[in-house]
Amino acid sequence: MKNKILFFDIDGTLYNSEKKLPRATYNAIQKAKENGHEIAIATGRSPFFLKPVLEELGLDSFVSFNGQYVVYKGKVISKRPIPMETIDKLVAQATNENVPIVYLDDVKMTSATKDDERVQVSMDSLYYPMPEVDEEYYKHSDIYQILLYVNEKEEGNYASLFPELKFIRWHKFSVDVINKDVSKAYGIEQFLKNTDFDIEDAIAFGDGLNDVEMLQSVGTSVAMGNGHKKAKEAATFVTDHVDHDGLALAMKKLGLC
C-alpha cells in the first residue's frame, strides 16, 4: 500500500466518552506510523489544547481552529487570523447586547468579559480556568477563533450580520467563530500543498458537524458510530462507536495497521 496521510478529529474520534485515548487506538496509530503512514490531528481545538494528545501520540502535525492555524512537522504552514476590522464590528455588536466574548490566539484564551456565569460554565466543561480579562487583546495579537456566548436565535442574527464569519456551536451557551471560507478541509489542502501527498492519499476520521467538509473532501473518510448523522452521510463508511474501539477497527479494515 502507498503511504497515506491520516487526519484524526479528537473528541468522539480519538478520545472516547471519558475523554481518554483507548489503548487499541493508541496501538493502531503507532502501528500505522511504523508502516510509514503520516499522522496528523484535525480539530477545532486551539494549539495550546492539543499538547496532551500530541505528546501522548508523539505527533507534531495538526490542523487547529478548524483550519485557521496549520502546523506540519512543527512548522506553521498556514495562518488565517480573523481580520481586526471584523473583530472590531463583532465586539461593538456584542458589547451593545451584553454578549460575552473570549478571544483565542495560538497560545491562550483571553476574555473581553469579567465574571460571566456562561463563560464559567463553558470553561468548566473544558476543565480550563477562567481566562484573564483584556477587552482589547485582539488589537495586539492575531486572533484565530472567538467564543461568542449566544443562544440559537441570537446566533442566527449574528450569522446574518456577519456573513464573512462561520458560527459553529460547541456548547449550549457558546459558538466558535472563525472565517467563513475556512474549515478542516481547507487545513488539509494546506498540508497537501506542502507535502508529496495527493488528495487520494488523505484519509480522515471524524464524528461531528465540523468534520463534514473534511470527510467529504478526502480520498477516503470514516465516521464514528457515535457520530452526527451528517458526518455519517458524508463519510466513505461508518465504523463502530468510539467506546467500542471503532477507530482501531476502521484502521485495520483499511489495512493501515
Which are the catalytic amino acids?
Answer: 9
Residue 50: left (phi > 0), alpha (psi -120 to 50), or beta?
A: alpha
Q: Quick one: the chain helix, strand, coil %, rounded to 5?
A: 40, 25, 35
- Residue owning grid cell 502546523: 71
Q: In what order do the strands lie in the sheet with 101-104?
A: 132-133, 109-111, 101-104, 145-148, 174-179, 165-171
Gyration radius of the chain over CA positions: 18
- What cell does 184 get? 478542516
Q: 106: Cβ–Cβ under 8 A, 6 or more apart, which residues? A: 46, 47, 48, 64, 69, 142, 144
